[in-house]
Structure 1
Amino acid sequence: MPRSTLLLPIALLVVAMTSIQSGASLAKSLFPLIGPEGTTALRLSLAALILCLVMRPWRTRPNFAAWRSLLGYGLALGAMNLLFYMSLKTIPLGIAVALEFTGPLALALLGSRRLLDFLWIALAALGLWLLLPDTRAEDHLDPLGMGLALGAGVCWALYILFGQRAGAAHGAQTVAFGTLVAALLVFPIGLWQVGGELFSIELLPVALAVAVLSSALPYSLEMVALTRMPARTFSVLMSLEPAIAAMSGLIFLSEMLGLSQWLAIGAIIFASTGAAATIRPRGHA
């Protein structure tokens, strides 16, 4: 693929990553009021409403094969958001994204076969090892929060795979369909956890901002990028996300990270960058 054709999707990804991490910082301010489950439910529900009004996905009629991809995309999207927000309750934003990013990184490395690629796997493993909880340290990480972030990473990899398949058939309309499925999955969970407080009018301005910044805008941009580059390329280009998340957490949430945590994030980013520069698909030298 010519480099010039990748400039637009790369630019869209940078904007999407900045938007989604800014939205995540804003969303965390809602946790004391409605918790991560309620925040996720509001975010996805409002985003689905916005996307459906703007894109009018009912104008398309996907076949059964396309519906299976759309369903997988939406379920992965909903589970990814829910697990990620639940992890933010106990671990910093930058750490959560670094752990979550191991999903796309594993997807990127899955199709490789060269010995050099094991270096990137080792670097990612080093990053995870540096993040292992140390109960003797004052800034030790919560194991449950780390597990939730890793679970979100698995869903992120599935989101990429299903999103590319569905997006190839229906383009940006896929985002509206998928977000609607995600909202239908998560909203009952949020309602069960929070109850009537989920409908508080005072929450609407912040919830709308979170929905636009964290869902409607970035997922639309990501879908455009996904349809213009291979899934593995998409995965490794997302290597900037942990750094953007760490800076967002520092700027908006005053989340200070220790030296070993910054080193862990750096190791994962370096592994992703190395994979992006050197990885080759199966069947290539």
Structure 2
Amino acid sequence: MTSEITGTGRTPSLGGLATMLASATSSQVGAAVGAQAFATVGPAGVVAVRQLVAAAVLLPAVRPDLRRFTWPQWWPTLLLGVVFATMNLSLYSAVDRIGLGLAVTLEFLGPLAVALAGSRTRLDLACVAGAAVGVYLLVLPGPASDLPGVGLGLLAGACWAAYILLNRLLGSRLPGLQAPAAATAVSALACLPVAVVLLVQGRLHGGGVLFAAVAGLLSSVVPYAADLIVLRRVPARLFGVVMSVHPVLAALAGLVLLHQVLDPHEWAGIAIVVAVNAFAVAARAGGPASDGAGSDGAGSDGATPDGPTL
């Protein structure tokens, strides 16, 4: 994810498209790798290690001057740090219960909601109805449904929406990546007690830590760098449309790396949500809503949709 999308409308190169897809793939592969550490450190442990790794890389790279932050800059930064931690914890907890593809698709409703918020046009109302149909097919509510897992996925989506709105605010108050870098540090500090408990319990070692650290690199650091490059070269509308593939990539990563096989109705629900988001972004090209839709992602970490999530 990025704090601001500034596409210019120029025709993107194949390299730009490849970079966007590589960023999205890295984010979802990182999430799948992190899920492999659940048995050792649990979702909370993965989030803690991931946030610590992201902060260790981003703070030296961005070097935000925290001593010069004013209160109007600090309070949304602190809130963004809480959103990062909550978004990642709810997403990974949802992944643990309902699988990566379903969890990321539900999370993706956050940026879609921001893109459609406040609109009363028939087109946007049709998008809302389409998204509702997609979610229904995805979940097929019944006695066997994991409703807590669904709720966690929706909470991650709400956090993603909050992430977009806070980034819009901070984009006018802090330059560059200072706000996301500082917020990542806040999130890492909030997660530090979890890491300490795991260390005392003797669980913070071996493959679990390695998987969580790799998740931090693939789902946070790589998308940050890739999106910073690509957003200077492609239109915001195209970025938002391409980011719509995150749920599909999440489902594929879950299938290949976690052996999570989806039913046909789940694939249908994912396809509908992806199509609705892509259509909504394309139809609202050039407006502020397209910025919001593009900013997110799975999953990502302030760098891409992971969002996406930090």
**TM-score scaled by structure 2?**
0.78
1:3 pairs with 2:12? no
Aligned mates of 1:3, 1:14 — CA distance in 2:
19
The yes-or-no answer on 1:150 pairing with 2:134 is no
Q: Distance in 2 between matches of 1:223 and 1:187?
A: 28
Q: Aligned residues: percent identity?
A: 35
- Return the offset for 1:5: 7.7
> Mind listing any 5+ residue stretches in structure 1 that lack a counterpart?
none
Rate the CA distance shift 1:53–1:204 in 2: closer, same or farther, 3 A. Answer: farther
| Greater displacement, 5-14 / 96-105 | 5-14
2:175 aligned with 1:170: yes
Question: Could you tell me how far 1:211 is from its partner in structure 2?
Answer: 1.2
Residues 40, 203 of structure 2: 8 Å contact kept:
no
CA distance in 2, matches of 1:227, 1:63: 29
- Deviation digits for residues 136-190 of structure 1 (CA, Å, limit 9, x no counterpart): 7xxx541111100100000001111212332452212333211111112233245
Q: Which residue is equivalent to 1:54?
A: 61
1:10, distance to aligned residue in structure 2 (A): 6.7
Work out the CA distance in 2 between the residues paired with 1:114 and 1:224: 34
Among candidates 117, 122, 133, match of residue 115 of structure 1: 122
Q: Which residue of 1 aligns with 2:279?
A: 274
Instruction: Tell me the amino acid that sits aligned with residue 37 of structure 1.
Output: A
Cα distance change, pair 154–234 in 1 and its aligned pair in 2 (3 A): farther
Structure 2, unmatched stretches of 5+, are 1-6, 289-310
The change in CA–CA distance for 1:155 and 1:231 in structure 2 (over 3 A counts) is farther
State the superposition RMSD in angstroms: 3.1
Question: Quick check: 1:81 aligned with 2:85?
Answer: no
Q: Which residue of 1 aligns with 2:36?
A: 29
Q: Distance in 1 between matches of 2:204 and 2:21?
A: 33
Task: Measure, in 2, the Cα distance between the counterparts of 1:194 and 1:65.
Answer: 36
The DSSP-based 3-state class of the residue aligned with 1:57 is coil
C-alpha contact (below 8 Å) 1:86/1:145 kept by paired residues: yes
Match of 1:19 among 20, 26, 46: 26
1:261 aligns with 2:269: no
Name the counterpart of 1:206: 211
TM-score calculated relative to the size of structure 1? 0.85
2:192 equivalent in structure 1: 187
Whether the 8 Å CA contact 2:11–2:234 is kept in 1: the answer is no
**2:133 is aligned with 1:93:** no
Query: How many residues of Structure 1 are paired with residues of Structure 2 in the alignment?
Result: 279
